[in-house]
Amino acid sequence: MENVGVMMTTPMSAYLEQQLQQRFTLFKLWESPSPTQSLTRRADLVKAVVGDTKIGADSELIDSLPRLEIVSTYSVGLDKIDLEKCRERGIRVTNTPDVLTEDVSDLAIGLALASLRKICACHAFATTGSWKNGDFQLATKFSGKSIGILGLGRIGSAIAKRAEAFGCNISYHSRTKRQTKNYRYYSNAVDLAANCQILFVACSLTNETRHIVNREVIDALGPRGVLVNIGRGALVDEHELVSALCEGRLGSAGLDVFENEPHVPEPLLELENVVLLPHVGTDTVETSMTMADLVVANLECHFLKKRLLTPVI
C-alpha cells in the first residue's frame, strides 16, 4: 500500500501523520503554498482523503480528485463531508464513533460543573489574591438538577449515565423516542428546555438541526438555566446565545464548540457566566491515538478489500 496516495486536509495528529507515512504515500494539503495547484498536480495520485472537524471533503475537493475512493474522517461528525457527492461517486466514507464517547461526555459534565460551581472564577479568585479580602460568592449545586439532553445517541446516552450518578432527573429530545422508562421524552426542543435546568446539546449537525437551539429554546431554558454545547457550534444560534447571556435571559453556558471556529464571539470573552473551551472534547492522548488507529485501520481494510470497520457509506 506504499504507493497509495493519501491526502490529509489539515494538521490533526502527529501520531496519525506518522502512521499514515509508514503505510502510504502521504500528501499534506496545508504544506502547499497553493492548495489548488497542489491538488491539480497530485489529483491522479490521491485515492484517499483524511479530514477532520475543521476541513473534511467538500464537493470542490471531491471533484478535484478523480481517483478518490475513500474519505476517512478523524471525527465522529460528518458535517464537513459532502455525503451526497460521495454517494454519487461511489466513494466510501468512515468515521470514528464510540472511541470518543467517554471523553466528550466526561467533558460535558465537567462544563456543567464548571459553570454551576464557577470553577474558573474560583481559580482566578485564588490566584489573584482576592481571597485575602474575603470569601468567594456562593455557587450553585449540580447534584439533583433536572437535565435535558438534545440527542440521545452514543454521547447523549453517556452524558445521561453520568448525570444519573449525580442524582439528576433525565429528559431528552431525539429524532425518535427511545425504549427507556428512566428518561422522559419531549417531542420538541422548546418543551425540553422549559422542563430542565441544564440543557446539553449532543445531537448531530444536519440541515434540520442547524440552530435547533434558537431564541425560543433559550428563553424557555431561562435566566437560571445552563446551556452546555459539546456537539457542533452551529447547533446553537450564536447571536441569540450571546444576546441572552449579555441580557441575563440565560444563566450561564459551557461551550466547547462555536459556529466559526477558531473565532469566538468577542462579547463572550468579557462575560463571567461562560466557560469557553477550544473544541477539545476528544483531545486526550488516549483517545486521539485510538481515533488515529481507527482511521488507519479503515484505510487498510478498504485497500485490502476487507470489510470497513466503521462505514458510513
Q: Which of 173, 232, 238, 259 is catalytic?
A: 232
Contact (Cβ atoms closer than 8 angstroms) between residue 53 and residue 104: no
Output DSSP code: residue 137. P
Q: Is 232 a catalytic residue?
A: yes
Q: Nearest-CA neighbor of 291 among 302, 282, 301? A: 282
Distance of CA 267 to the CA centre of its chain: 22
Contact (Cβ atoms closer than 8 angstroms) between residue 150 and residue 203: yes
Fill in the amino acid letter for 227: L
Phi, psi (degrees; rounded to nearest 5) at 277: -125, 150
- Cα angle 87, 209, 261; round to 5: 85
Instruction: Tell me the CB-side half-sphere exposure of residue 229, using CA atoms within 13 A.
Output: 26
Q: Is the dihedral of CA 297, 299, 304, 309 positive or negative?
A: positive
Fill in the amino acid letter for 240: E
Which helix (H) or strand (E) segment holds residue 20: the answer is: helix 14-23
Q: Is 42 a catalytic residue?
A: no
Q: Nearest-CA neighbor of 202 among 239, 264, 163, 153? A: 153
User: Prior bond to 262 cis, omega within 30?
Assistant: yes
Give the 3-state secondary structure percentages of the chain, helix then strand then coil, rounded to 5: 40, 20, 45
Q: Nearest-CA neighbor of 175 among 147, 202, 193, 215? A: 202
Q: Which of 60, 84, 88, 261 is catalytic?
A: 261
Q: Which of 42, 154, 211, 279 is catalytic?
A: 279
Beta bridge partners of 196: none
Catalytic residue annotation: 232, 261, 279
